[in-house]
Amino acid sequence: MPIRGGLPPRNPRFIGREGLLADVRGLLGTGPVVLLPAAEHQLGGTGRTQLAVEYAHRYAATYDLVWWIPAEQTAGMRAALVGLASELRLPEARDINRTLGAVRDALSRGEPYRNWLVVFENANRPEDIKPYLPSGAGHVLVTSRNPRWTSEVAQAVPVPVFDRTDSVDFLRRRSPELSAAEAERLAEGLDDVPMALDQAAAVRVATGWSVDEYLRRYQRRAAELAFPTPIRVAWGLAADALAETSPAAFQLLELCAFLASAPVSWELLWAARGVVPPELARTVRIERRLKAALRLTGRYGLAELDPPGDNVLVHPLVRGMLGQQLSSERHAALLRSVRAMLAAADPGDPDNPAHWPRYAAIVPHLVHSDVLGADAEEIRQLVINCIRFLYARGDWDSSRDLAAQAVARWRDSLGETDEQTLLASFHLANALRAVGRTADARSLNAQTLRSQREVLGGDDETTLATANSVGADLRIQGHFGQARQLDADNLVRYRRLFGESFPTALRCANNLAVDLRLLGDFRGARALDEQVLRHRQMIFVEGHPETLSSRAGLAFDLVGLGDYAGASALLANGYADALGADHPMALWAGRFAAIAARRRGLPQARELAAANAELYRQKFGDLNVETLGALVSLANCARADGDLDEAHRLLERAVARYHAVLGEEHPFTLAAAADLAGVVRATGRYAEARTIDAEALGGLRRSVGADHPFTLSCANGLAADLLALGEAQQAREIALDTVARSRSLRGAAHPDTLACAFNVALDAGDEPSMQAAAEELQKAYGEGHPLLARALAGGRLETEIEPPPL
Distance, in Å, from the CA atom of 218 to the CA atom of 348, rounded to the nearest integer, reads 48
Distance, in Å, from the CA atom of 182 to the CA atom of 200, rounded to the nearest integer, reads 13
> CA 257: distance to chain centroid?
30
Distance, in Å, from the CA atom of 144 to the CA atom of 156, rounded to the nearest integer, reads 10
| Residue-level pLDDT at 395 | 85
| pTM for the predicted model, two decimal places | 0.83
CATH 3.40.50.300 residue window(s) in the chain: 3-160
| Residue-level pLDDT at 62 | 95
Compute the half-sphere exposure of residue 282: CA atoms within 13 Å on the CB side of its CA.
Answer: 5
- Picking from 558, 567, 562, the residue whose alpha carbon sits closest to that of residue 597 is 567
Cβ(125)–Cβ(73) under 8 Å?
no
| Residue-level pLDDT at 576 | 67
Cβ(98)–Cβ(624) under 8 Å?
no
Q: What is the 3-state secondary structure (H, E, C) of 469-537?
A: HHHHHHHHHCCHHHHHHHHHHHHHHHHHHHCCCCHHHHHHHHHHHHHHHHCCCHHHHHHHHHHHHHHHH
Single-letter amino acid code for the residue at 790: R
∠ CA(84), CA(386), CA(127), 5° rounding? 50
Distance, in Å, from the CA atom of 144 to the CA atom of 204, rounded to the nearest integer, reads 30
Cβ(195)–Cβ(317) under 8 Å?
yes
Single-letter amino acid code for the residue at 7: L
| Residue-level pLDDT at 575 | 67
| Residue-level pLDDT at 652 | 97
CATH 1.25.40.10 residue window(s) in the chain: 346-456, 615-792
- 3-class state of residue 8 by DSSP: coil
Collect the ranges in the chain with pLDDT lower than 50: none
Distance, in Å, from the CA atom of 651 to the CA atom of 628, rounded to the nearest integer, reads 9
Distance, in Å, from the CA atom of 302 to the CA atom of 281, rounded to the nearest integer, reads 21
Q: What is the largest CA-CA distance in the chain?
A: 115
**What values do phi and psi take at 708, rounded to 5?**
-80, 145
| Residue-level pLDDT at 266 | 87
CATH H-level, domain 3-160: superfamily: P-loop containing nucleotide triphosphate hydrolases (3.40.50.300)
| Residue-level pLDDT at 1 | 67
CB atoms within 10 A of CB 415: 11
Give CATH for domain 615-792.
Answer: 1.25.40.10
Torsion sign (Cα): 246, 247, 248, 254: positive
Quote the radius of gyration of the chain (alpha carbons, Å): 33
Q: Where are the alpha helices (DSSP H) in 394-460?
A: 396-413, 419-434, 438-455
Cβ(8)–Cβ(68) under 8 Å?
yes
Cβ(201)–Cβ(237) under 8 Å?
no
What pLDDT, in 10s, does the model give residues 794-804? Answer: 899 999 999 99
| Residue-level pLDDT at 64 | 95
Query: Strand order in 139-143's β-sheet?
Result: 3-5, 65-70, 116-121, 139-143, 33-37, 155-159
Q: Is 583 left (phi over 0), alpha (psi -120 to 50) or beta?
A: beta
Give CATH for domain 346-456.
Answer: 1.25.40.10
Torsion sign (Cα): 72, 75, 77, 83: negative
Torsion sign (Cα): 660, 661, 663, 667: negative
Element (H, E) at 238: helix 230-245
